Structure 1
Amino acid sequence: MSIDGFHKFLKRGGAEGAFQPLLLLVALAVMVLVLSLYSDFFMTRRNWLNILDNHMSHQLLLAIGMTFVISSGGIDLSSGAILALSGIVLACALGAGAGVPLAVAAALLSAAAMGAFNGLLAANFTINPLIITLGTASLFRGLAIIITGGTPIYGLPKEFLALTQPFLSVPTPVWISAAALVLALVALNCTKWGLYTLAVGSNCEALRRLGVNVAAHKVSVYAVSGFLAGLASLIVAARLSTAEATAGVGMEMSAITAVVMGGTLLKGGRGTIAGTAVACLMLSVIRNGLTMLSVNAHYQEFIIGALLLAAVIATELRHKKRAAAGAPKMREKK
């Protein structure tokens, strides 16, 4: 099968996933209507900026990276730990007297390197990426604890904390996540890199026979995911005015929930950045609404977990139904 053949197949196979964001938008609209009837404050500009900034901006960055990884047939349980350790790198660099640009660059490069390390392991060993990234998650977070002694690092300079200030009346983290969203949409849907990412998740061996360096591509996918986790760490550190080893705990599960809810196949081969973004917004609205309803945080995590389970089951049932109805199957040309 040629690259063009891959492209045609992936477009056909992704047609079903295109409806997922629309279904989520309908559900989101209903949710917004109900919450707006419950509270006049819900529809205010202040509350929506709170949703987009405090609830969604950093989570969207993690979810975009997770979309790339899952689309390629992998998974990354270390993104929360990468967020924590890259935040520690940032704080240590600032504490050592480095300027803000240099410290930010160090944090982002270290995050991308951690992601690339995941990719190297996933590409060169036949171990399930879930096990690999579960191990590296402990490795990265353990290193963060060793460096800090388990104590948060305070005293980040005002020049860095300005990252949370608004630009054109909108918080800067919202602009950062919006820019990342646009770039991700273009990367996955309009570039050869995006095509290879989906093809790796669909038929890795066939892509290898076409002369594509699959191992190198996997490394690049995980590196991009790590970079985005590093970008999220900047937002979290600036918002909290601190860097700590416990930052990002559980965020990878919320990211996976958004990715699967959005319509990306957990087994790889199909990914939708738009669906991930809508699902992220929906989860952020849910968290905001539950907080307004004074629902305990533990119950919020229970609800998020239930949504992940429901999304996985629903996706699998749709996939089986589509396969039974005679969905197109990829055949290699001899």
Structure 2
Amino acid sequence: MTGRDRGDRRWYTAITSNGALLGLVLLFAALALASPNFLSVANMTNIGIQASVVAILAFGMTFVIITGGIDLSVGSLAALSAVAAGWAGTVGGMAPVPALVIGLFVGAAAGAVNGIMVAFGKIPSFIATLALLSIGRGLTLVISGGTPIATSGPITWLGSRIGGWFPVPILVMIVMGIIASIILNKTLAGRTMYAIGGNEEAARLSGLAVRRNLIYVYVLAGLFAGVAGMVLAGRLSSAQPQAAAGYELDAIAAVVIGGASLSGGVGKISGTLIGALVLAIIRNGLNLLNVNPFWQQVAIGVVIALAVLADSLRRRFRAA
């Protein structure tokens, strides 16, 4: 390899490794020039709040995608967790904090069901989580009777502001991002996720507990979905049975935009956060520019397609 080839490779690696951040900066600059209201404090805060639920879901999704899987159930699990907590606090008569814990437990338990189907049932993650998506939505409607359930206490606080100005959803997003980053980068479980995504059979032959770790991954995804559901319920001041519909697709998009590979083995939490912010900024900017909502969906789809194309090019470059 010549010096020029090595230089080209370094430039390519730098651009592809930081492509999401570069895209975020360019998008931010373009919208700041296009709309005078974009840089206002109120709008920046609004973007953070809009990104929070998707980002928390996407943090859990990152674990799954790194192992080479996909989780289509996180949106329904977010709604199911919130409705379970709301039901426990109203119909069940539980205190607010135990009711919230029940909701989080429901999300984690549903994630465990996903993990068992994938790890022991050998069901493709796409099919297993698609089934639980339907089951979760159905249970949400059964528990709630199809009507919103009022929330109170800590769940309502999750949608409020600290000191009347700093949004709690943004704080929760930051805390959950830090926790996810520690799990992924500082623990054996996190390193095992990368190993499973890189080559599951090699990880198994190396003595890693692949099945147990896969269950752990889906439990984490369900738990993070539960937290996202609580934040969304706090923002809406009620647990809505149809809440977070379609959010699983936004979560997957955020992870892919952030540089994770759908083939597994690649991904980071900081990239996922950037991906969630990119989606929120696109929607916010297009709203400020009065773009038709139908065209907004087209724009989001184009961004996702470009992110997947970039992932494909990265994998081909590594193979070469």
| Superposition TM-score, scaled by structure 2 size | 0.91
Q: CA deviation at 1:50?
A: 0.7
Shift, 1:176, TM fit: 0.8
Aligned residues: 308
Match of 1:327 in 2: none
Give the alignment partner of residue 70 of structure 2, picking from 71, 75, 82: 75
Alpha carbons 2:35, 2:289 under 8 Å: kept: no
Residue-by-residue CA offset, 1:174-222 (whole Å, 9 max, x unaligned): 1111011112122212221110011111111222222222111000000
Of 54, 59, 68, 1:64 maps to 59
Distance 1:160 1:67, change over 3 A: closer
Q: Which residue of 2 aligns with 1:157?
A: 152
Aligned to 2:6: none
Superposed displacement of residue 158, structure 1: 5.5
CA distance in 1, matches of 2:203, 2:154: 47
Q: How far, CA to CA, are the matches of 2:22 and 2:209 in structure 1?
A: 41
Cα distance in 2, alignment partners of residues 240 and 20 from structure 1: 38
Identify which range, 193-202 or 296-305, moves more after superposition.
296-305
Measure the CA separation in 1 of the matches of 2:167 and 2:14. 30
> How far is 1:278 from its partner?
0.9
Q: Judge conservation of contact 2:159–2:233 (CA < 8 Å) in 1.
A: no
2:166 is aligned to: 170
C-alpha contact 1:124 1:215 (8 A) present in aligned 2:
yes
Give the corresponding residue for 1:146.
142
Give the secondary-structure state (helix, strand or coil) at the position aligned to 2:238.
coil
Instruction: Please say which of residues 228-237 and 37-46 is displaced more in the overlay.
Output: 37-46
For residues 155-176 of structure 1, the C-alpha deviation after alignment (integer angstroms, 9 at most, x for no partner) is: 3235642222222531111111
Q: Provide the rounded CA distance (Å) in 2 between the counterparts of 1:159 and 1:68.
A: 27
- Structure 1 counterpart of 2:61, one-letter code: M
Letter of the 2:280 counterpart? S
In the alignment, the residues of structure 2 paired with residue 59 and residue 149 of structure 1 have an alpha-carbon distance, to the nearest angstrom, of 26
Provide the C-alpha distance between the structure 1 equivalents of 2:16 and 2:274, rounded to a whole number of angstroms.
9
The 5-angstrom pairing of residues 1-334 of structure 1 reads 19-20=15-16, 22-53=18-49, 55-95=50-90, 96-153=92-149, 155-157=150-152, 160-167=155-162, 169-324=165-320
Question: How far off its partner does 1:306 sit?
Answer: 2.2
Q: 1:296 to 1:25 in 2, by over 3 A?
A: same
Contact 1:259–1:275, Cα closer than 8 Å, also in 2? yes
Percent identical among aligned pairs is 39
The alignment's C-alpha RMSD in Å is 1.8
- What secondary structure sits across from 2:148 in the alignment? coil
Check whether the contact 2:100–2:154 (CA below 8 A) recurs between aligned residues.
no
